[in-house]
Amino acid sequence: MKKVGFIGWRGMVGSVLIKSMIDESDFKNLEPYFFSTSQAGQKNPEWNIKYKNELLIDAYNIEELSKMDIVITCQGGEYTDKVFSKLRKSGWNGHWVDAASSLRMKKDSVIVLDPINQLSIDEAYDKGIKNWVGGNCTVSLMLLAIHGLLKEDLVEWVSSMTYQAASGAGAKNMRELLLQMGQIYSSVSDDLIQKDLNILDIDGKAMALMNSGNFQKDNFKVPLAGNLIPWIDEDLNNGQSREEWKGQSETNKILSSGFKSIKVDGLCVRIGTMRSHAQALTIKLKKNIPIETINKIISNGNQWVKLIQNDKKSSMNLLSPAAVSGKLDIAVGRIRKLDIEENCISVFTVGDQLLWGAAEPIRRMLKILIKKGR
Ligand code: NAP
């Protein structure tokens, strides 16, 4: 059995990965070893699986890592930057499976999203490629949502406006959002009981707290609860954020075998939802086809797409982070022809970015590697 080293299993993506692997009985096909960057020497967590090491191994120990056939890391880019080259330079020739972005655009790595690019994965594997990286969450979710249109080569360009959840920024940020919500509530809880108090006075009190030095914002740097942040990831100093740049570059790397390239651009916005990213897409199609046909093509894209009727009740109840969180469903709705131009359609899509946006593609890649066996 393949020796698989797990790093970053305590974080958001890692814990979702481990849960899915337990649910899908993936552990029975491999020998798991657990590593940590901060808890080496402590006891392994109490999971209902057999692991090989009683105590957590130091995730920076190159000698221990090089005993693995496969290393799967959800620890983040900083860890990859510190360890990956050292491990490769030590002569290790195993498979590196990573959720972080550091290696995504490297020539000798593949961005994995196997329902879309199984062909690229197979070709790269046969060529001896050993670096497999999960894509950006909004990119993977968008591609799965419009998979049907891509297969039919109908997409000329996509403008994506994102509504990204706090969990996309990691465990600490998700906690911070809840703390911010609690802090705002506590500051006005007595006022809310007084039914005749002016709501603008209550709002003013909440705003004053949010804009004060007492508000908890160590991670997001600004309030997210009761607010939004129209910038995600680094500033590329050309008016674009790194998150926005990923839309075009990662999409076309994923589509590089078997699909035509498409233009993608838009704005990425962090909002105060807990988990699951939403995106409003404007899509320019290559030809004018009836809306019923478009619905059918999108719905048949893959087994995870759940087409939501474009009406108020269905959209409110089924097309939201609250409706899809914790599920592999890619909800796709609000599909209609825009008055702007006959070939332009609107699409609103929501998916759990910790599942299809992060853990699921790398869980499936691990399964592919175990099955291929080399
Ligand atoms: P995360 O939740 O911040 O976890 C990363 C590491 O932080 C953990 O493995 C843990 O390492 C440490 N940590 C420190 N305090 C923690 C706490 N209170 N709870 C849990 N872990 C804590 O990061 P993540 O969101 O899982 O992201 C991991 C990587 O995946 C990043 O490169 C990210 O860009 C990428 N990614 C994330 C998403 C997403 O939706 N979140 C989507 C796609 C890709 P130790 O146990 O070693 O201390």
Structure confidence by residue, pLDDT tens digits, 109-130: 999 999 999 999 999 999 999 9
Question: How far is 320 from 177, CA to CA, in rounded Å?
Answer: 18
pLDDT in tens, 340-361: 998 999 999 999 999 999 999 9
Residue 231 has pLDDT above 90, yes or no: yes
Question: Of all protein residues, whose CA lies closest to atom 47 belonging to ligand 1?
Answer: 37
Question: Of all protein residues, whose CA lies closest to atom 42 belonging to ligand 1?
Answer: 358
pLDDT of residue 313: 98
pLDDT of residue 373: 84
The per-residue pLDDT of the chain, averaged, comes to 96
Contact 223, 177 (CB under 8 A): no
Contact 283, 158 (CB under 8 A): yes
277 belongs to the catalytic site: yes
pLDDT of residue 48: 66
Question: How far is 243 from 139, CA to CA, in rounded Å?
Answer: 10
Question: Of all protein residues, whose CA lies closest to atom 34 belonging to ligand 1?
Answer: 100
Cα(335) to ligand 1 centroid in Å equals 34
pLDDT of residue 49: 72
Residue 53: which pLDDT band, with cuts at 50, 70 and 90? confident
Contact 355, 284 (CB under 8 A): no
- Can you tell me the mean pLDDT for 278-298? 97
Question: Of all protein residues, whose CA lies closest to atom 7 belonging to ligand 1?
Answer: 11
Cα(99) to ligand 1 centroid in Å equals 10
Residue 320: which pLDDT band, with cuts at 50, 70 and 90? very high
Question: How far is 161 from 152, CA to CA, in rounded Å?
Answer: 23
232 lines ligand 1 (CB under 6 A): no
Residue 44: which pLDDT band, with cuts at 50, 70 and 90? confident
Q: Which stretches does DSSP call E strand in the chain?
A: 3-7, 31-36, 57-58, 70-73, 95-98, 109-112, 131-134, 155-164, 228-229, 263-271, 277-285, 305-307, 330-337, 344-351
- Can you tell me the mean pLDDT for 266-291? 97
- Can you tell me the mean pLDDT for 24-30? 93
Question: How far is 180 from 222, CA to CA, in rounded Å?
Answer: 10
pLDDT in tens, 68-117: 999 999 999 999 999 999 999 999 999 999 999 999 999 999 999 999 99
- Can you tell me the mean pLDDT for 246-252? 96
pLDDT of residue 142: 98
What is the distance between the terminal CA atoms of the chain, rounded to a whole angstrom? 11
pLDDT of residue 252: 96
pLDDT of residue 350: 98
pLDDT of residue 210: 97
Structure tokens at 111: 């961005």
The least confident of 156-160, 168-172, 366-370 is 168-172
| Residue among 43, 65, 75 whose CB has most ligand 1 atoms within 8 A, to mutate | 75
> Which atom of ligand 1 sits closest to the CA of residue 175?
18
Number of H helices, E strands in the chain: 13, 14
Cα(202) to ligand 1 centroid in Å equals 36
pLDDT in tens, 148-161: 999 999 999 999 99
